[in-house]
Amino acid sequence: MKRNKKERQQQLKEKIEEDPFRTDEALAKDFQVSVQTIRLDRLELSIPELRERIKHVARERLDEVQALPLEEVIGEIIDLKLDEEAISILDISRDHVFSRTGIARGHYLFAQANSLAVAIINDELALTTKASVHFSRQVKEGERVIARASVIKSRGHKTWVEVTSNVQQEPVFHGEFVMYRSRR
């Protein structure tokens, strides 16, 4: 059943408020309209494109990363509460995949998770001492990987961080990292 423009735009606004990281392509699929229609609706509603929405959310939610420069993080951190939780996004491009298969190289998924585990630590020095990882499924070019990190516990100079990465709510990677920090 087709929605009229006003209904579609209201539902679009609600969907983006609910999940500001939803792509135009995914929204077009949800509403069974063209990507161009979604873009026109967004323009009429003064809803910025995805990159701008991500930056806006990041500015609101980010604590200051301590353990490494932001440009050294693999992926884009969009939420960070030091010593609690963090979220990053990595769009898998041609540079991240094997040329013959279009499947993402595992070290990029690991690097996204590991750099998020480092970034979450509220210390100027954070090093990975141990990692236990599991890859659930292949990630392909064009997919968006959303990694969520949580501090599980801290004891002395060690902090345990759990990272789960998903593509459209489907788990693709899980890691448990033991991090060394210089102070506690």
What is the CB neighbour count within 10 angstroms for residue 87?
20
Please tell me the distance from the alpha carbon of residue 56 to that of residue 127, in angstroms, as a whole number. Answer: 29
Of 64-68, 82-86, 173-177, least confident by mean pLDDT is 64-68
Residues 135, 172, single domain; the answer is: yes
Q: How far apart are the first and last CA of the chain?
A: 58
68 shares its domain with 114:
yes
Query: Could you tell me if 81 and 127 lie in one domain?
Result: yes
What string of H, E and C letters represents the secondary structure of the chain? CCCCHHHHHHHHHHHHHHCCCCCHHHHHHHHCCCHHHHHHHHHHHCCCCHHHHHHHHHHHHECCCCCCCHHHCCCEEEEEECCCEEEEEEECCHHHECCCCCEECHHHHHHHHHHHHHHCCCCCCEEEEEEEEEECCCCECCCEEEEEEEEEEEECCEEEEEEEEEECCEEEEEEEEEEEECCC
The per-residue pLDDT for range 122-170, each reduced to its tens digit, is 888 889 999 999 999 999 999 999 999 999 999 999 999 999 999 999 9
Per the structure, the complete domain to which residue 12 belongs is given by: 5-55
The model's pTM? 0.68
In this structure, are 47 and 67 located in the same domain?
Answer: no
Does one domain contain both 66 and 50? no
Tell me, yes or no, whether 31 and 106 share the same domain: no
Contact 150, 93 (CB under 8 A): no
* Same domain flag for 67 and 158: yes
Per-residue pLDDT of 40-63, as tens digits, reads: 999 999 998 887 777 676 655 555
- In this structure, the answer to whether residues 81 and 12 fall within a common structural domain is no
Q: Are 133 and 172 members of one domain?
A: yes
In total, how many domains does the chain have?
2
**pLDDT, tens only, 76-87:** 888 888 899 999
